[in-house]
Amino acid sequence: MAWNSSFFIILASLYFKDLAIAKNPCKTGVSVPGMALKGFVFKKVPVTAPHVCDVTCERETICQSYNYVIGEKSCELNTRTKEARPENFQPDGLRFYMGRISGRTPLGSIPELPALSCQEIKLSEGKDSISKNYWLDPTNVGSSKLVYCDMILEADPCYHYKNLSEASRKINYSTPLGSASCDYQLPFGWYRFVGAAGTKMPTTRVPAYKCGTNWSGWLDGSHPTVEDGEVPRKVCFSGRSTGCRYSTNIFVKNCGSNFIYELKRPPGCALRYCSTD
Ligand SMILES: *[C@@H]1O[C@H](CO)[C@@H](O)[C@H](O)[C@H]1NC(C)=O
Ligand SMILES: *[C@@H]1O[C@H](CO)[C@@H](O)[C@H](O)[C@H]1NC(C)=O
Ligand SMILES: *[C@@H]1O[C@H](CO)[C@@H](O)[C@H](O)[C@H]1NC(C)=O
């Protein structure tokens, strides 16, 4: 009898715990419909209802988030959040994404949850992440080692940018008819112009049909000094008779020996960012 009643209490408390989680209004705040984190699933678990994934994730020390597979009624448990891996967070009509609600282990804080880079920890844990030793597995071979991460350096885009080196971005490159490129696929981020592309963006109007595109993009403003830090600037995309048929806002930074630009998808096609020596 005593066994029976305690069993009932356990069942009841489990039931009400579930109910409490399901009714928690905070819970819905982190769910992202139509999106999923790709490439970091460590376990797939069939469940009876979507909210069960919250409990399933919280039982795993390394679980950071999950994708719910709608048609299959299963949760894909992830070792990363969407913040840590923005480029792996992709549209997926068959799933929804949800961050772990509570008790998430910070990335790189235990050997079982190593990060691929210090930058990843910075992205995952946010602006407040401190400089210290973290567990890293940079080559993704399954063995962790303690590595010192300087988070001040990690926060500086001068150490984290991609290169653009196409000769066709140059201001004197005349776009052959029918071969206009656009930067519509360019992922958001910091870029430096190198090699055949030259070193920087032009700061005076570039005629249309240059730079391998139709509407040529140039910086409508001056380049900053090192002391200026990251400055907002306008990019104009020239039309046939105007210097600014389209425009977008970017950030520019002087890294001492070179400039970098935080570029985003231009407002259409064929629009492209130009470069010069
Ligand atoms: C970008 O170009 C610079 C200058 O040529 C070079 O030092 C750097 O290694 C390049 N970075 C990448 C990621 O290719
Ligand atoms: C652009 O100008 C540079 C130097 O001014 C020159 O070397 C290069 O051949 C020119 N390119 C084109 C496509 O006109
Ligand atoms: C670029 O301009 C040419 C000439 O006006 C036009 O034929 C072509 O369709 C344009 N390309 C794009 C991608 O808009």
Whether 228 shows a pLDDT value over 90: the answer reads: yes
Q: Whose CA is nearest to atom 1 of ligand 1?
A: 163
Cα 228 to middle of ligand 1, angstroms: 24
Q: Which whole number is the average pLDDT over 42-48? A: 97
Whether 28 shows a pLDDT value over 90: the answer reads: no
Closest listed ligand to the CA of 209: 3
Which residues in 48-184 belong to E strands, given as ranges? 65-69, 74-78, 89-99, 132-136, 145-149, 162-164
pTM (whole model) above 0.85: no
**181 pocket-lining for ligand 3 (C-beta < 6 Å):** no
Q: Which residues pair with 95 in a beta bridge?
A: 69
Q: Whose CA is nearest to atom 14 of ligand 1?
A: 163
The amino acid occupying position 129 is S
Per-residue DSSP letter, 175: P
Q: For the purposes of burial, counting CB atoms within 10 Å of the CB of 91, is it exposed (0-12), middle (13-18) or buried (19 or more)? A: exposed
The amino acid occupying position 34 is G
pLDDT score at 128: 81
Per-residue DSSP letter, 159: G
Q: Which of 166, 168, 169, 172 to mutate to test the pocket of ligand 2 (most atoms within 8 A of CB)?
A: 172
**173 pocket-lining for ligand 2 (C-beta < 6 Å):** yes
Phi and psi of 145, rounded to 5°?
Answer: -140, 155
Whether 1 shows a pLDDT value over 50: the answer reads: no
pLDDT score at 3: 43
Helices (H), the chain: 2-23, 52-58, 118-125, 151-154
Average pLDDT score over the chain: 90
Per-residue DSSP letter, 82: T
Whether 167 shows a pLDDT value over 60: the answer reads: yes
pLDDT score at 234: 98
Q: For the purposes of burial, counting CB atoms within 10 Å of the CB of 172, is it exposed (0-12), middle (13-18) or buried (19 or more)? A: exposed
Whether 20 shows a pLDDT value over 50: the answer reads: no
pLDDT score at 87: 87
Cα 218 to middle of ligand 3, angstroms: 19
Q: Which whole number is the average pLDDT over 73-88? A: 96
Whether 127 shows a pLDDT value over 90: the answer reads: no
Ligand 1: residues whose CB is within 6 Å? 163, 194
- Integer CA distances (angstroms), 199 to 165, 167, 180, 256, in order: 9, 11, 22, 13
Per-residue model confidence as pLDDT tens digits over 100-109:
999 999 999 9
Lowest mean pLDDT among 12-16, 39-43, 192-196, 269-273: 12-16
Q: Which whole number is the average pLDDT over 111-122? A: 95
Q: Which whole number is the average pLDDT over 195-216? A: 97
Q: Which residues pair with 191 in a beta bridge?
A: 162, 261
**Closest by CA position to 78, among listed 48, 46, 40:** 40
